[in-house]
Amino acid sequence: MAFDALSEHARHPREQRTVFRRHRLPLLLMGVFVIWVQHPAQWALHRALFAAAFVILVLLAIWIYTLVFVFSSLAGFSSLTALWLWPCSQG
């Protein structure tokens, strides 16, 4: 943020370094304050995204579990059917 502001006013690198040295503490405090103020908003956004992702991931996990259960049941059913019909096919 300070570099953007200084690019408009302090064109020479030596002048920029001088301004940074002279105003180091106020620039640091400004950055800390901006992060401190924005921190609750970021946490609220993260909580909302986590809640949405949690719902989607739970539904996806239930769907995958159901598919695994159905196909494993079908495989077991076909194996039992083959075993049941096997003596009949021996003739």
Compare 21 and 42 and report the one with higher pLDDT.
Answer: 21
> Is the confidence at residue 91, as pLDDT, over 60?
no
pLDDT tens column, 23-79 = 889 888 888 888 777 777 777 888 888 999 999 999 999 999 999 998 888 877 777
20 vs 15: CA distance, rounded Å: 9
Read off the pTM: 0.42
Task: Supply the pLDDT for residue 37.
Answer: 78
Give how far the C-alpha of residue 39 lies from the chain's centroid of Cα atoms, to the nearest Å.
17
3-state secondary structure 30-67: HHHHHHHHHHHHHHHHHHHHHHHHHHHHHHHHHHHHHH
